């Protein structure tokens, strides 16, 4: 499900709802609760900006669906994603961040204060806005994939892998996420197929080496998924394998679970069209800062980063956003 869904694209909600009552005034509004949002909150709270954070659809962000994080500085023994996010939350609360449940569903950034609607019925007005709404997993777009969501199709191995103990699963994708998911699932499942459309993995060399050395992972290079099959739950998949230059040969595999790990879409739709974004939807920031094309609106973390997308880079950019917001308010 999309973290942010503009009201005007909801099939059942073509009309914008009338919000009555006075909007709450907020000096520094932070949307999103991943490493970027929490770091922005820590800095903004310490600077006395009395930040209010709405956590969004997935409190704690994508890291809450990760197992071991080994590359975040300060945890020499590694840490699990959920524990790390609890640590960040506690630190943001310690300095007085007002952390709330709720998701931004609409925004008007045409003038200051910026108006944001939370959960379709609460209006808030912010002097500065820090967007840290992250990104959401992409799917292949197959009809059968849609049919089996929650019944064998998943985009999160750490959330759903447990159900496939001793079974056979497939993971689609050749990046670090797919490699990580395949490795995680290999520890639970009897067998893991890793389906990659190119003749090589895009994942880092370390992850590639790990994948290739796990005996119950079978890597299927140059394969695409045509259909996921089953009745009430997934029982197989039909793949196409490139044979020679143009011919495609069908390959059937028997599986119980199908995991999609092909990248993410930034959660920025509710800020269009006022906010400048690239063709994928990543918010454009002015190089070396968190500033957007709108004065007083700052973006940090995965919603504006198509390149690095790491917890530590997200945290760093959250710090930048809070410092930029503080400077903006002083000026
Ligand atoms: P990536 O964009 O890196 O990889 C996406 C993969 O999915 C690619 O192999 C791509 O294939 C494939 N793909 C995309 N669309 C389709 C499709 N329609 N059908 C089949 N395959 C498809 O995304 P990730 O989520 O893996 O990683 C994002 C970023 O996060 C990266 O920078 C990565 O390094 C980082 N990361 C780091 C981790 C860590 O350090 N522990 C863990 C996880 C991620 P193709 O190559 O052909 O385009």
Do the beta carbons of residue 225 and residue 171 sit within 8 Å?
A: no
- Percent with pLDDT over 90 in the chain: 77
The answer to whether the CB of 108 falls within 8 A of the CB of 275 is no
In contact, 292 and 275? CB cutoff 8 Å: yes
> Which of 10, 119, 159, 278 does the annotation list as catalytic?
159
Judged by average pLDDT, the poorest of 24-28, 149-153, 281-285 is 149-153
SS (H, E, C) 76-124: CCCEEHHHHHHHHHHHHHHCCCEEECCCEEEEECCCCCEEEEECCCEEE
State the chain's mean pLDDT as an integer. Answer: 91
Is residue 265 lining ligand 1, measured as CB closer than 6 Å?
Answer: no
Residues 95, 42 contacting (CB under 8 angstroms): yes
Spell out the domains of the chain, with CATH numbers in brackets. Answer: 24-136+264-330 (3.50.50.60), 143-260 (3.50.50.60)
Atom 5 (ligand 1) nearest CA: 262
What pLDDT, on the 0 to 100 scale, is given for residue 6? 36
Report the C-alpha gap between 307 and 301 in whole angstroms. Answer: 11
Query: Is 157 close to ligand 1, i.e. is its CB under 6 Å away?
Result: no
Cβ pair 268, 303 in contact under 8 A = yes
Would you say the CB of residue 175 lies under 6 angstroms from ligand 1? yes
Which residue among 75, 172, 173 has the greatest number of ligand 1 atoms within 8 angstroms of its CB, and so is best to mutate? Answer: 173
Residue among 160, 256, 302, 305 flagged as catalytic:
160
pLDDT band at 279 (very low <50, low <70, confident <90, very high): very high
- Render pLDDT for 164-218 as a digit per residue (tens, 0 to 9): 999 999 999 999 889 999 999 999 999 999 999 999 999 999 999 999 999 999 9
Give 33-45 pLDDT, tens digit per residue. Answer: 999 999 999 999 9
């Amino acid at each position: 499900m999309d973290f942010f869904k503009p009201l005007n694209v909801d099939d059942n909600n073509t009309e914008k709802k009338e919000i009555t009552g006075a909007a709450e005034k907020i000096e520094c509004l932070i949307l999103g609760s991943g490493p970027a949002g929490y770091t922005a909150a820590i800095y903004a709270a310490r600077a006395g900006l009395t930040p209010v954070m709405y956590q969004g659809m997935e409190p704690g962000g994508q890291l809450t669906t990760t197992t071991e994080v080994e590359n975040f500085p300060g945890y020499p023994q590694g840490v699990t994603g959920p524990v790390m996010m609890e640590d960040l939350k506690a630190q943001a609360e310690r300095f007085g961040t007002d952390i709330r449940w709720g998701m931004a569903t609409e925004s008007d950034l045409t003038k200051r204060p910026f108006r944001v609607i939370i959960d379709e019925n609460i209006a808030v007005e912010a002097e500065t806005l820090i967007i840290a709404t992250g990104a959401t997993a992409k799917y292949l777009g197959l009809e059968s994939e849609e049919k089996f969501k929650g019944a064998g199709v998943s985009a999160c191995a750490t959330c759903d892998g447990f159900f496939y103990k001793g079974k056979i699963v497939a993971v689609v994708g050749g990046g670090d996420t797919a490699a990580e998911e395949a490795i995680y699932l290999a520890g639970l499942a009897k067998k893991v197929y890793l389906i990659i459309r190119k003749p090589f993995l895009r994942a880092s060399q370390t992850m590639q080496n790990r994948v290739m050395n796990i005996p119950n992972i079978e890597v299927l290079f140059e394969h695409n998924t045509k259909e996921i099959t089953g009745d009430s739950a997934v029982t197989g998949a039909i793949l196409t394998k490139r044979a020679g230059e143009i011919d495609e040969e069908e390959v059937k595999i028997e599986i119980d679970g199908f995991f999609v790990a092909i990248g993410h879409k930034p959660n920025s739709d509710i800020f269009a069209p006022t906010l400048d974004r690239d063709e994928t939807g990543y918010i454009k920031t002015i190089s070396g800062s968190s500033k957007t094309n709108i004065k007083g609106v700052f973006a940090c973390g995965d919603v504006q980063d198509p390149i690095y997308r790491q917890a530590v880079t997200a945290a760093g950019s959250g710090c930048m956003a809070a410092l930029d917001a503080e400077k903006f308010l002083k000026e």
